[in-house]
Amino acid sequence: MDAYELLTRNAEEVVTDEEVRDLAEDAAGKRAYVGYEPSGVLHLGHLLTANKLIDLQEAGMEVVILLADVHAYLNEKGSFEDIRETAEQMKAQFLAYGLDEELTEFVYGSEFQLEDDYTLDLHHLERETTMNRAQRAMAEIQGDETAKVSHLVYPLMQTLDIEYLDLDLAVGGLDQRKVHMLAREKLPELDYEVRPAIHTPIVANLTDGEGKMSSSEGITISMEDSTDELEDKVNSAYCPPTRDPEPSEDGTERENPVLELFEYHVFPRFDEIVVERPEKYGGDLTYDDYEDLAADLESGDLHPADAKGTLATYLDELIAPGREKLYELRD
């Protein structure tokens, strides 16, 4: 797989394709980042962007993971002590998941976001940005109630992070796109360079295939799930035998979350997927390509129940090292 393909596979959006092609020309040593508000337990949403980071490392890029403690503080996620503790757990889980330690730099936001230059640039950016614009950038992340001033500062800091971390590429879930667009628009106004962005998809809600899987509601698969819990969760997932489910009664678009998990989490990390199946249902199946599996589900050659059992097995394997690390840290 060439660098461009590694950079863009499974990406929902690439901004812009030309810039990313240029980057892929000479990817080795270039720096990409994702920022996370520290959380004690990684869930599949984190791992989806982590998969992309692994792709980038495979292409020779350096990866910066921003442990966004100041952002977490702005978002009222606890004291700096608590935030740091969960951040350290998060870091350990990422490494256990398979990020290359040599090519991964973990940076706390507070290491540079409280410096004079940064602060002054932040104020500059505040002058250049309307409240309306900042609020819209934050809407996806914030979700809930009335905006506070902290919520407006939040995306502005993300914008500056891209400059101050000396990056060549920003990575994030599609929920970050408005922030990244704001950054692309505003960085030049401060005489800084524009960087391309790559956005990963957001996996649909496991229960009903609608909207997106969220850690705040519905079922979330995370690093702390036991094998049994994981099997139960996958088994309860919405999974019609098609890759393109009908919209729900109220007209909401639906996806097949089981297929999405195969596509975005399983196939990128395994060369070969074996569906273990009793003789009575036709015996084992082997796939090395997502499309083949999806086609078999569609045609009925692969029953959803067998797909789910297989999915649970592989997800468990992906999560196991991080889970062990997490349990170890908690003792």
Partner RNA sequence: CCGCCCUUAGCUCAGACUGGUAGAGCAGUCGACUGUAGAUCGACUUGCCCCCCGUUCAAAUCGGGGAGGGCGGACCA
Contact call for residue 240 and RNA (CB under 7 A): yes
Q: Which stretch binds RNA (CB under 7 A): 84-92, 149-157, 266-274, 299-307?
A: 299-307
33 is in an annotated binding site: yes
How many Cα atoms occupy the beta-carbon half-sphere of 81 within 13 Å?
0
- Residue partners of 61: CB distance under 8 A and separation at least 6: 27, 28, 29, 30, 31, 32, 103, 168, 169
Should residue 72 be labelled a site residue for RNA when binding is judged by CB under 7 A? Answer: no
Measured CA to CA, the distance from residue 323 to residue 30 in angstroms comes to 31
- Which position among 253, 305, 317, 327 is part of the footprint of RNA (CB under 7 A)? 305
Exactly one of 186, 308, 323, 325 binds RNA (CB under 7 A); that residue is 308
Q: Which is nearer to RNA, 253 or 328 (CB)?
A: 253
The verdict on whether residue 161 carries a ligand-binding annotation is yes
> Smaller CB distance to RNA: residue 308 or 323?
308
Q: What amino acid occupies position 157? A: M
Answer yes or no: is 290 a known binding residue. no
136, 201, 277, 321: which one contacts RNA (CB under 7 A)? 277
Among 78, 241, 268, 321, binds RNA (CB under 7 A): 241
Tell me how far apart the alpha carbons of residues 306 and 21 are, in angstroms, rounded to a whole number: 39
When asked if residue 236 is in the footprint of RNA (CB under 7 A), the reply is yes
Asked if residue 35 binds RNA (CB under 7 A), the reply is no
Q: Closest Cα partner for 73 from 150, 141, 136, 143?
A: 150
Q: How far apart are CA 93 and CA 322, in angstroms?
A: 5
Nearest-CA neighbor of 261 among 311, 304, 307, 222? Answer: 311
Residue 331 CB, nearest approach to RNA (Å): 30
Cα distance between residue 218 and residue 119, in whole Å: 38
Q: How far is the CB of 256 from RNA (least distance, A)?
A: 9
Which amino acid is present at 87? A
Binding flag, residue 109, RNA (CB under 7 A)? no
Binding piece for RNA, criterion CB under 7 A, among 2-10, 34-42, 127-135, 234-242: 234-242
Which CB, 188 or 282, lies closer to RNA?
282
By CB under 7 A, is residue 145 in contact with RNA?
yes
Please check if 214 is assigned to a binding site.
no
User: Residue 306 or 316: which CB sits closer to RNA?
Assistant: 306
**Minimal CA–CA distance to 61: which of 23, 96, 94?**
23
Residues 6+ positions from 127 with CB-CB distance below 8 Å: none
Spatial distance between the Cα atoms of 53 and 46, rounded to a whole number of angstroms: 11
Per DSSP, 210 falls in state: B
Which spans of this chain sit near RNA (rule: CB under 7 A)?
Answer: 145-146, 207-208, 235-241, 258, 277, 281-282, 303-306, 308-309
